[in-house]
Amino acid sequence: MNKIKLSPFWLGVLISGVVLLAVFGGLVMPKTTVLARKKRAISALASDLKSAKDGTPGRQDIESWTKYKGEVTTAYKQVTDFYTVSDKHLERWFPGILLGGDGDPSRDVFMSRYRDEGEQLENLLIKKDVKIGFDDDTPGRKGKFGFNWESIAPNDWALIQVDEKAVLRELQKRFWARQRLANAILNGGVKVQRVADFRFFKKLHEKLSNAPWEQYQYKNDETIHWPAVGAGQNGAPMGFQETDLPNDLGKTLTFGFAVELPYSEVPKAIREILNPGNEASAQERMLINLIGTHVTIKEQNEPKVPFTFELGNKADEDAKRAEALTKSGGEKPRSVTLAVTCQIVDFDPSKVKKFGAKE
């Protein structure tokens, strides 16, 4: 039997082919499988992207959104800056008051100044023949209600010891609200005959007893109808709560005042209450929002006064009208009670969000 002899060359070729087949099967074939799997994944992804093409943001969308974000951020800063400046006037202490190391006055120092400033404010109004409160129309004397200055009994301070600083700050803010009304009369020239009532609709502190305005009852001809707060016959609202500003940026401070004045002075009174120009500086404005008004006529209309004149004779008509009015006491401005409910925005600048800053 003849044996096939391979030359060393062909033997090397045969061995190399076997090795290449082994390498191809062990290395290349698995890679081919991986490649096919990745191609299928890319094809599926391309299909998904194609189907989502209409909803996929493009460069123009991103640029538009970036511009809108800038506009919103600028508007937010402008609004919060405005309220921050306005709040400075509300947050200040009495000018020249002695402050402690924490930037606040002591209780005794503040309460003494609070009483003095309130009395001085009322005395200035009394000098302008403005009556304060009901019951006593004796010149220079004060009746019930009026400005309703809060006073805290010595034993009550222990009840609010933890919140003492907050209560003092609240009293200071309430003083500025009362001063705003006084300024409208003293500086704004509103002809007010009586400051009948002034009250806040939230308790000074939950642990304190009745507020000054809760110690009296209205007589029939004194009843004040407080608008926009759901107040009852005695002026107390049912379940009243202040409004919290969005994102913990503060809350409202709601109060009402009632004054007696000629009906013709009503528009001017409202205008001057809303006008921050009565403050020491227009830059130190305290923003007040009017949320309700109510006007009550205090007197019945005067009876008609007939008079006779020569028809067509204008001079005679004017003379007879003047004579008739003189005999009837003349035309007098109607006295009305104007009740106004207002809110001050008690802003908290520390809660303003700093966009772009690291959280």
Q: Give residue-wise pLDDT tens across range 302-339.
A: 667 777 888 888 888 888 887 776 766 555 667 899 99
The answer to which of 22-31, 264-273, 339-348 has the lowest mean pLDDT is 22-31
Q: Write out pLDDT tens, residues 179-204.
A: 999 999 998 889 999 999 999 998 89
Q: What is the percent of the chain where pLDDT is above 90?
A: 35
Torsion angle, CA of 273/274/278/280, rounded to 10 degrees? Answer: 120
Give this prediction's pTM.
Answer: 0.73
The pLDDT value recorded for residue 85 is: 85
Answer with the residue of higher pLDDT: 169 or 312. Answer: 169
The pLDDT value recorded for residue 52 is: 64
Q: Write out pLDDT tens, residues 1-41.
A: 555 555 666 666 666 666 666 665 666 666 777 777 888 88
The pLDDT value recorded for residue 213 is: 84
The pLDDT value recorded for residue 278 is: 56
Q: What is the percent of the chain where pLDDT is above 70?
A: 78
Contact 97, 111 (CB under 8 A): no
The pLDDT value recorded for residue 215 is: 81
The pLDDT value recorded for residue 177 is: 94
Is 70 exceeded by the pLDDT of residue 282?
no
Enumerate residues 6+ apart whose C-beta is below 8 A from 355. Answer: 73, 76, 77
The pLDDT value recorded for residue 136 is: 60
Is 50 exceeded by the pLDDT of residue 283?
no
Radius of gyration over alpha carbons of the chain, in Å?
40
Contact 104, 166 (CB under 8 A): no
Contact 104, 168 (CB under 8 A): yes
Domain boundaries, the chain: 75-302+313-351
The answer to which of 68-82, 101-115, 276-290 has the lowest mean pLDDT is 276-290
Average pLDDT (152-175) is: 93
The pLDDT value recorded for residue 23 is: 61
Among residues 131, 79, 60, which one has the least CA distance to residue 335? Answer: 131
27 token code pair: 């290395």
Cα separation, 67 vs 133, in Å, equals 57
Answer with the residue of higher pLDDT: 52 or 111. Answer: 111
192 token code pair: 């007010």
Average pLDDT (254-262) is: 94
The pLDDT value recorded for residue 24 is: 59
Average pLDDT (139-167) is: 87
